[in-house]
Amino acid sequence: MAERQRLIINAKGEEKIIYPQPRIPETPPEQTIVFPDKKETHIDWRRNFERVIEVQKILKEANIGQEEATVHPDLEYPDLPMLLAIITDAHLFSVGTDHELLKKHLDLVINQPNVRMLDCGDDVDMGIWGDLVFEQVLPPYMQGFTMRDLARELGDKMIAILGGNHNDWMKACGTEFYDAFLRNAKCPVMPAGGMIHLEIGEQTYDIAAKHTHWGRSRLNATNASKRLIQWGYPDADCAILGHSHQASMEQLYMGGKNRLAVVGGTYKLDDQWAERRGISDRPERGGLGILFYPNERKMIPFLQMEDGVEYLNILIELRKYTH
């Protein structure tokens, strides 16, 4: 045992016992273990960037979506106006959708001369989450296949197909709706909406169309459509939106030209999901129409496309007496 030592620590002669510090043994030399085949990694950020950029190019080339399209419809009566049927928020195969009204409007598009259609998104309900799952008449995959067959029959009767938030929900299932079901559509597919240049006779009408846009107002149904013109497409003759399930059309003079601001309504007239959450005004029926003239710059809006078809049929009958 190490010998203790005494140390006087103050004038009173008090002592303190000091124990010597234990001796720390010397550290043995470090032993090295050799791993001759341990895998070494190397991350080269430049190489990774090159690979990612190449994959991005591949994905962009494979994407069917576009944000600008020129449409020159081959009309049955080229000298007469064309009626554009606005079909938005159909919500196919929701229990609350008026499928009879929708079928009636689709048959009008298919069978009536000089009628073409714009699909403004949410054409399927695609309820894959929450209580919406229990409000589907057909499962999501069957909704997609049905939409594909409908697009096949409509063919060039559609001038464009826009995307909607309900369409995008299918991404949660690992499927891109537009690539999976609309790749073979004859018309342009515009998941994010954009500008459509509609060429009819001597006229070209610029139509800004999206499923939704900021600026929606309960007091002014067409406010978002006007903001789409003001801040997005200042040269547009017409702005068309869906999503809000309101139906409204406004003729206005903005920026030195006559314009139309449109919100397209819905076919989901019994929306229990929205009612339970208090997030929806009373839904207003879809199927609006706009008559575009070929030989003069003129647009006539119809809140019900049936009225536009009736007006067009009168023009077709009158044509028989002038040709």
Please give the torsion angle defined by the CA atoms of residues 87, 89, 91 and 97, in that order, rounded to the nearest 10 degrees: -80
pLDDT tens-digit map of 169-219: 988 888 889 999 999 999 999 999 999 999 999 999 999 999 999 998 888
* pLDDT the model gives residue 205: 98
Q: What is the mean pLDDT of the chain?
A: 91
Q: What is the mean pLDDT of residues 317-322?
A: 89
Distance CA 65, CA 163 (A): 9
Distance CA 8, CA 239 (A): 99
* pLDDT the model gives residue 253: 95
Task: Output the CA angle 66-67-72, nearest 5 degrees.
Answer: 80
Strand order from edge to edge, sheet including 288-292: 189-190, 158-162, 115-119, 82-87, 288-292, 299-302
Task: Output the CA angle 276-282-287, nearest 5 degrees.
Answer: 125
Please give the torsion angle defined by the CA atoms of residues 197, 200, 201 and 206, in that order, rounded to the nearest 10 degrees: -30
Q: What is the band of 51 on the pLDDT scale with cuts at 50, 70, 90?
A: very high
* pLDDT the model gives residue 281: 65
pLDDT tens-digit map of 90-124: 999 999 999 999 999 999 999 999 999 999 999 99
**Alpha-carbon separation of residue 230 from 103, 219, 234, 246 (angstroms):** 35, 19, 5, 21
* pLDDT the model gives residue 115: 98
Q: What is the band of 7 on the pLDDT scale with cuts at 50, 70, 90?
A: low
pLDDT tens-digit map of 265-312: 999 998 887 777 666 667 899 999 999 999 999 999 999 999 999 999
Record the tokens describing residue 106, joined without a space: 């689709």
CATH architecture of 70-320: 4-Layer Sandwich (3.60)
Phi, psi torsion values for 206, nearest 5 degrees? -95, 115
Predicted TM-score (pTM) of this structure: 0.85
Long-range pairs for 139-143 at CB < 8 Å and ≥24 separation?
Answer: 140/170, 140/173, 142/93, 143/92, 143/93
Distance CA 131, CA 117 (A): 32
The alpha carbon of 118 is separated from its chain's Cα centroid by a whole number of angstroms, namely 14
